[in-house]
Structure 1
Amino acid sequence: MQRSRSQVLFSFLPQAVFRHEDRLFGQVSTVDGTRVSALNESVVYEEISAYLQMWDDDARLDLPLPTVDRRREYTILSPETVRWEVYPLVFECTRRSCGRVRSFREARDIVRSPRCSHCGGGLRQLRFYNAHNCGRTQPLFVAKCSTHGWDHITFDDTGSFTTATWRCRGQGCNNAVVRQTNQSPCTCERYPGADGVVRMRAHTLDDSRAYTPHYIDLVNIDSSVFQDYQKHPSRAQIALAHHLGLISSIREGITQANASSGGTRSSPAEWAAKEAMYREMGLGDSEIAVLRASSGPADSGLAAVDVSQAVLDTVAGRRQVYERAAVYDPNEVQRFTLADQRASAAARNDPAVVQVLDKAETLAKTMGLAEVAVSWEFPIAKVVFGYTRESPVPGDSNLRGFRHQAHHEGKHPVYAVETETEAVLVTLDALAVCDFLVSRGELASLPATEEDAKRKLLEVFAIADADPVPAATVTALVHTLSHLMLLGLDDGQVGFSESSLAEWLVPETLTFAVYANSLKEFTLGALWTLLSSRAAAWLSGVVTRSVRCENDPLCYQENPRACERCTFITFGCPEFNADLDRRVLSSFFQHRGVLAAI
């Protein structure tokens, strides 16, 4: 069976159960493809290794840490060809008057005997199978009649596994109940239920909860500057300098870092003490100015970053943070903002569009958004390396790899698709967020400038282990807004469904992207149209979604306030719908006065 590369990543990875167009269900055995060479393998393996370390060693199966000395055991492939087997091999007669269940040992046995052995009717698969957090699956257990064995067993499907029953239509049994359905025990002896018993859970064959692929999203810019930047020892300082507006491009940052003599400059406080000493020594203003230029606090460039070592170590070192500088570098990724669109409309003397964009800009500012932009060339790579069943959370499940002894030379396959796609890029106003934290008592005072506010928020994330509340509030704010903006695109007017979109999150810099998750090498231009003509309506809908849910009042009473009807998305959340709370976002909007403005 062959599928597009993006389809394989989402629905047809090894051991996934899926519906085939021939009305059969199957389980993927292997996925083959060509080797990918367009990714920075060092970065890929570093990120996979960091991800895998969230699981205990005995909860990672066929997934050794891809450290430098073990990377030869891995291979990165572009998924192209899917091989699968019919699964499960438990069938029932399609005639309602019969319905007898029949199990097969191998798929070839179905070919030899494709009809009901009792009445000659057609056969169809039973729609349930069992799965467990350890990763094991097995077909539905078929009950046995003490008189007739399995010859006349039927499955009374009531629509719910817990109320379904096994019955016997043999002579004398007269469709009597043989036994209730029950969840099969699992021999792994791990992940017991609430009653302390380790058992598998029954799922319908198309239930996505029984299989969750684990992946990382990487920014993958094909330029020598970006490649040098990824490997540069000063990339953390460059990322922060760009975020703080101290440099205009990552190339400028690399140039400054390479030209640096290695000397240190005084902080503002240190310089104030030195300047006082110089004046006591009788130095004049011109002499002090020369000294300040060489060793005083810098006003721009890498030397002016001036953040704590904790920010450099724990925040700026995160891949998404240094990727953000490249994404927001117009030399690397072109983007068009609401302001750009308005200027373009004004230049072509289109007052109607100018009026629409003025309204959108005003609403965005009121919502606390510093920038809303669109890119046609958002460079994303999705890399999938394993899967879990039942729960994607470390400690609640085993994380399994895709290795197959007879394929890929016995190596551990990692599947990757890279492309440039459409994306909406959003950054919140740092002063607005700090003001919100002050109002909640989570920040002592409001910084004086936007740059100071950005520095303060970086420090908030740097000390999150000791004081987690402010960082959690900011994360929930950014993440929830991202989900509601993504869900707001699924309105039938821009050509995207919720399941075809994904997000890229950098909460430390108040940034996120919502991008087309089809991973195809073309774009529709739908997001460009959205920004040009429907941005105000889209943003208004986001505000409304923050205070309303179809599950209210139940969802309203939950803490956190988030559910499948208001904030959860199906495939595109790298955090599996964690850290979401409409309560935080609606409070932010209320503090900004947005609710009264729409």
Structure 2
Amino acid sequence: MSESQRMLRSRSQVMYSYLPGAVFRHEDRVYGRVINVVGSRVNRLNEQVVFEEIARSLERWKEDDRYNLPIPRDSREREYEILSPEDVRFELWPLVFECSHRECARVKSFTNARNLVGSSRCDECGGRLRQLRFYSAHNCGKTVPMQVPACTTHNRKHIFFEDTGSFRTAVWRCRACSNRVVARTNQSPCGCRFTQEPAFQRMRAHTLDDSRAYNILDVDLVNIDSSSFKTYQAHPLRAQIALAHYLGLIDGIQDGLRQADTSPGSSAKRMTASEWETQERKLRATGLLSEDDIATLRTTSGPAETGLAGLGELPPGVLDKIATERPFLERAAVFDPSELQRTTLVEQLNSARAKGDTLQAASIQSGIDLAERMSFSELSVTWEFPIAKVAFGFTRESVEPGESAARGFRTQTNRSDKYPIFAVASETEALLLTMSAVEVVNFLADDGFVSTRPSTEDEAKRDVLGIFARESSDPLPAARVRTLLHTLSHLLLRGLDDGQVGFAEASLGEWIVPETLSFAIYANSLKSFTLGSLWTLLTNRSHSWLASAAERAVRCENDPLCYQHDPRACERCAYITFGCRSFNHDLDRAVVADYLRRRDVFTALTS
């Protein structure tokens, strides 16, 4: 048996379970540790976004707590290489074995895999050796096999490990000393700087299958790689373009770029809404101009109603705080038909009617009626949702800065001196949903979170932007909106795991832009193919899917315990396994149930 072996895995498998430093179970019923992953350079990945997101994440760690992970800003980006994982190289690990005969179970350690080849049987009874299924890990990233203690009389020749199911009570014993206890499983200090903290002084023992000892540091992002998106992303007026698109003032990114480059200062020549209101009163007071004349003046001198100039006055902080965030900028492309094709539920209804399919039209109409009652202003599906998973390092024991060290994937066996980042990009199916801003703001007003009650979507959208812009000084309204949107996303995602659309909950992910009341639920398969399952759902089962989400808002298998919990959310109703970037925070079924109840959703479902 060689000390290093090759193993082929799918790219998605590697990204989740087989990156450098991971301990895994091989199909040959042995355990190994990944020492290197070989791959080829990734194409069609928006590297600017990738490095920006990695830098933001790494800046949470102190420099002393980052190993092989320089901040990828400025010229240091060139020190990294982004690879598509293709070939996994691993070593047999740990090299601590025990006899498979229960009455013997003597433990034997090896210094390398070559020594195991000629000594794969127990020296005492001839039984087959198997790996002892435990090892130790520390917050600094270090891993070591279990340290086999020595008997004062027989050294390590007759030592065996008594596994009681708990490391607190498990002990090492000596067969030759009538099974006398030789040592307990108290773990020794690591010796790194983390051991200066009382909570991290000792290493912790883990089973070889325990995922808590290896946490991938990764980024999931919408990977839009078109030339127009890159131009928009680097444009000094990108925030204005994103805002204008969200408010419906421009048709798309290219339209916004065209306006920004041809007439960037045109808005300065026009009056604001308040200035025009004053001027309009003066013009009418003179009695010299007709209504048609005043309307003509408004189109040339009054506030613009479309285009970038139509942004007008925005709540303080929106331009520099909200509209520069990556998800907000991404949304303009995701909802731009020239960048990403999507089909709405309304378009599906029109198509069914055009074909004369009355049964399907009736099914879709019932879904539209329920979506509107739940205050979704748009419900659509796309086959082109461009998602990328990018892994740049890992931690042990904890994912929190200050409690763990962040380690990169560069090892001595790397082919180059660059720091490897592993990425898989794909286009997949996704459901895109947007809520009505008017209904959400009025919901907040009902509870006293805000004082305004907008009558139009434009007014309400601007109100929502203002809510998030002042979140630092007034956090409750933004938190309420985020909880409502995030919980709805989880309830709808879990509603897809019913055995009818071909997706398990763990194979789905979410993308949320709370400032725009938009979110997506996508097939997180990392494979560039689509089953058409979400399109089928939208066409044939939209009503039952939305109804199941509403039902989940008021029912949980853990009730009454979950019902009495604050916030009201648990693993049986709202939590998802892998696809939540905020680790199931900001969830509360009570908020969604209250929102739906005020819109008479439950009455409509039972009538």
The TM-score, its normalising length taken from structure 2, stands at 0.92
Rounded to whole Å, the distance in 1 between the matches of 2:26 and 2:395 is: 22
Q: How do 1:183-194 residues align onto structure 2 when only pairs under 5 Å count?
A: 183-190=187-194
Q: How do 1:345-360 residues align onto structure 2 when only pairs under 5 Å count?
A: 345-360=352-367
Give 1:199 deviation, angstroms: 2.5
Is 1:522 paired with 2:525?
A: no
SS at match of 2:500: coil
Q: How do 1:1-80 residues align onto structure 2 when only pairs under 5 Å count?
A: 1-80=7-86
Give 1:35 deviation, angstroms: 1.1
Q: How do 1:331-410 residues align onto structure 2 when only pairs under 5 Å count?
A: 331-410=338-417
SS at match of 1:508: helix
Give 1:543 deviation, angstroms: 1.9
Question: 8 Å contact 2:431–2:521 — kept in the other structure?
Answer: yes
Rounded to whole Å, the distance in 1 between the matches of 2:271 and 2:490 is: 43
Rounded to whole Å, the distance in 2 between the matches of 1:311 and 1:208 is: 41
Question: 8 Å contact 1:501–1:518 — kept in the other structure?
Answer: yes
Indicate the residue corresponding to 1:568 in structure 2: 575
Q: 1:273 aligns with which of 272, 278, 281?
A: 278
Indicate the residue corresponding to 2:3 in structure 1: none
Letter in 2 for 1:31: V
Q: 1:125 aligns with which of 126, 131, 153?
A: 131
- 1:392-443 CA-to-partner distances (Å, cap 9, x unmatched) read 2333322221122441422111111111111111112212221222223211
Shift in CA distance, 544/253, structure 1 to aligned 2, threshold 3 Å: same
Indicate the residue corresponding to 2:289 in structure 1: 284
Q: 2:153 aligns with which of 147, 152, 165?
A: 147
Give 1:108 deviation, angstroms: 2.2
Q: How do 1:229-308 residues align onto structure 2 when only pairs under 5 Å count?
A: 229-263=232-266, 264=268, 265-276=270-281, 284=289, 289=295, 291-306=297-312, 307-308=314-315
Shift in CA distance, 294/50, structure 1 to aligned 2, threshold 3 Å: farther
Shift in CA distance, 261/455, structure 1 to aligned 2, threshold 3 Å: closer
Shift in CA distance, 268/565, structure 1 to aligned 2, threshold 3 Å: same
> Structure 1 stretch 152-161 or stretch 72-81: which is displaced more?
152-161
Is 1:310 paired with 2:314?
A: no
Give 1:74 deviation, angstroms: 1.0
Indicate the residue corresponding to 2:114 in structure 1: 108
Give 1:311 deviation, angstroms: 0.5
Letter in 2 for 1:130: S
Q: 1:95 aligns with which of 85, 101, 125?
A: 101
Indicate the residue corresponding to 2:4 in structure 1: none
SS at match of 2:552: helix
- 1:496-552 CA-to-partner distances (Å, cap 9, x unmatched) read 122222111211111111111111121111111111222222222222222333333
Shift in CA distance, 272/395, structure 1 to aligned 2, threshold 3 Å: farther
Q: 2:165 aligns with which of 159, 169, 177?
A: 159
Letter in 1 for 2:513: V
Indicate the residue corresponding to 1:578 in structure 2: 585
Aligned residues, how many? 595
Give 1:233 deviation, angstroms: 1.9
Rounded to whole Å, the distance in 1 between the matches of 2:559 and 2:172 is: 39
> Structure 1 stretch 414-423 or stretch 180-189: which is displaced more?
180-189
Question: 8 Å contact 1:339–1:361 — kept in the other structure?
Answer: yes
Question: 8 Å contact 1:220–1:418 — kept in the other structure?
Answer: yes
Give 1:318 deviation, angstroms: 0.8
- 1:542-592 CA-to-partner distances (Å, cap 9, x unmatched) read 222223333333333333333333333222222222222223223322333
Give 1:363 deviation, angstroms: 1.9
Question: 8 Å contact 1:215–1:574 — kept in the other structure?
Answer: no
Rounded to whole Å, the distance in 1 between the matches of 2:550 and 2:137 is: 40
Letter in 2 for 1:562: A
Shift in CA distance, 407/462, structure 1 to aligned 2, threshold 3 Å: same
Question: 8 Å contact 2:249–2:310 — kept in the other structure?
Answer: yes
SS at match of 2:542: helix
SS at match of 2:160: strand
Question: 8 Å contact 2:106–2:160 — kept in the other structure?
Answer: yes
Question: 8 Å contact 2:139–2:200 — kept in the other structure?
Answer: no
Among all aligned residue pairs of Structure 1 and Structure 2, give the percentage whose two residues are the same amino acid.
57
Rounded to whole Å, the distance in 2 between the matches of 1:29 and 1:197 is: 26
Letter in 1 for 2:258: T
Is 1:174 paired with 2:178?
A: yes
Rounded to whole Å, the distance in 1 between the matches of 2:242 and 2:443 is: 25
Rounded to whole Å, the distance in 2 between the matches of 1:44 and 1:198 is: 35
Could you tell me which runs of 5 or more consecutive residues in structure 1 were left unpaired when the two chains were aligned.
Answer: none
SS at match of 2:604: coil
Indicate the residue corresponding to 2:88 in structure 1: 82
Rounded to whole Å, the distance in 1 between the matches of 2:150 and 2:450 is: 66
Give 1:491 deviation, angstroms: 1.9
Question: 8 Å contact 2:136–2:205 — kept in the other structure?
Answer: yes
Give 1:136 deviation, angstroms: 2.2
Give 1:317 deviation, angstroms: 0.5
Give 1:323 deviation, angstroms: 0.8
Indicate the residue corresponding to 1:537 in structure 2: 544
Rounded to whole Å, the distance in 2 between the matches of 1:560 and 1:142 is: 46
Question: 8 Å contact 1:130–1:184 — kept in the other structure?
Answer: no
Question: 8 Å contact 1:189–1:198 — kept in the other structure?
Answer: no
Indicate the residue corresponding to 2:468 in structure 1: 461
Letter in 1 for 2:194: R
Is 1:489 paired with 2:496?
A: yes
Give 1:197 deviation, angstroms: 5.5
SS at match of 2:493: helix
Rounded to whole Å, the distance in 2 between the matches of 1:379 and 1:484 is: 23
- 1:90-138 CA-to-partner distances (Å, cap 9, x unmatched) read 2211111211122222222222322222212112222222223322222
Rounded to whole Å, the distance in 1 between the matches of 2:148 and 2:565 is: 40
Shift in CA distance, 597/204, structure 1 to aligned 2, threshold 3 Å: farther
Shift in CA distance, 332/155, structure 1 to aligned 2, threshold 3 Å: same
Question: 8 Å contact 2:162–2:172 — kept in the other structure?
Answer: yes
Shift in CA distance, 494/434, structure 1 to aligned 2, threshold 3 Å: same
- 1:341-383 CA-to-partner distances (Å, cap 9, x unmatched) read 2222222222222222222222222222222211111111222
Rounded to whole Å, the distance in 2 between the matches of 1:389 and 1:571 is: 18
Question: 8 Å contact 1:191–1:396 — kept in the other structure?
Answer: no
Give the RMSD, CA atoms, in angstroms: 2.3
Letter in 2 for 1:498: E
Q: 1:202 aligns with which of 199, 202, 205?
A: 205
Give 1:145 deviation, angstroms: 2.7
Question: 8 Å contact 1:392–1:576 — kept in the other structure?
Answer: no
Question: 8 Å contact 2:222–2:386 — kept in the other structure?
Answer: yes
Rounded to whole Å, the distance in 1 between the matches of 2:61 and 2:341 is: 38
Letter in 1 for 2:191: T
Give 1:492 deviation, angstroms: 1.8
Shift in CA distance, 400/104, structure 1 to aligned 2, threshold 3 Å: same
Letter in 2 for 1:229: Y
Give 1:465 deviation, angstroms: 1.1
SS at match of 1:190: helix
SS at match of 2:194: coil
Question: 8 Å contact 2:386–2:428 — kept in the other structure?
Answer: yes
Question: 8 Å contact 1:423–1:516 — kept in the other structure?
Answer: yes
Give 1:144 deviation, angstroms: 3.1
The TM-score, its normalising length taken from structure 1, stands at 0.93
